[in-house]
C-alpha cells in the first residue's frame, strides 16, 4: 500500500435495510485476528446474516426481507381514560 493510499479516511455508512458500506483504508480481520482480503477500495459488509460470502454482502438481505427499522409497536399497556 502506498503512503498516499494509507491516508484515506475510513467511512462506514449503514444502508437502510442493507449492508454497511466501508470506504477507505481499514484492516479487516476475522475472529482469529487473521486478515480478510478485500479486493476493492469500497466494500459492503453483511448485516442480515444470510450472505453466502460473509462477511461481505451478496444481496441476500433483499430476499430475506431484512429490515433495519423495527416494525411499529402498540403499547404493552393501555389505560382507560375515565
Whole-model pTM: value is 0.72
Instruction: Give tens-digit pLDDT for 15-53.
Output: 999 999 999 988 899 999 999 998 888 999 999 999 999
Locate the domains of the chain by residue range.
1-65
Domain spanning 1-65, CATH architecture: 3-Layer(aba) Sandwich (3.40)
- What are the cell numbers at 13? 455508512
Decide: 66 and 58 in contact? Cβ < 8 Å: no
Alpha-carbon gap, residue 76 to 17, rounded angstroms: 26
pLDDT for the residue numbered 6: 57
Angstrom distance (rounded) from CA 14 to CA 25: 17
Give me the residues paired with residue 44 across strands: 21
Q: What's residue 44's pLDDT? A: 96
**Strand-pair partners of 13:** 21
Amino acid at each position: 500500500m502506498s503512503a498516499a493510499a494509507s491516508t484515506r479516511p475510513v467511512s462506514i455508512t449503514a444502508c437502510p435495510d442493507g449492508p454497511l458500506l466501508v470506504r477507505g483504508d481499514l484492516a479487516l480481520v476475522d475472529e482469529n485476528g487473521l486478515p480478510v482480503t478485500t479486493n476493492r477500495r469500497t466494500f459492503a459488509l453483511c448485516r442480515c446474516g444470510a450472505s453466502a460470502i460473509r462477511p461481505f454482502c451478496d444481496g441476500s438481505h433483499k430476499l430475506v426481507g431484512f429490515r433495519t427499522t423495527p416494525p411499529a409497536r402498540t403499547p404493552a399497556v393501555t389505560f382507560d381514560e375515565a
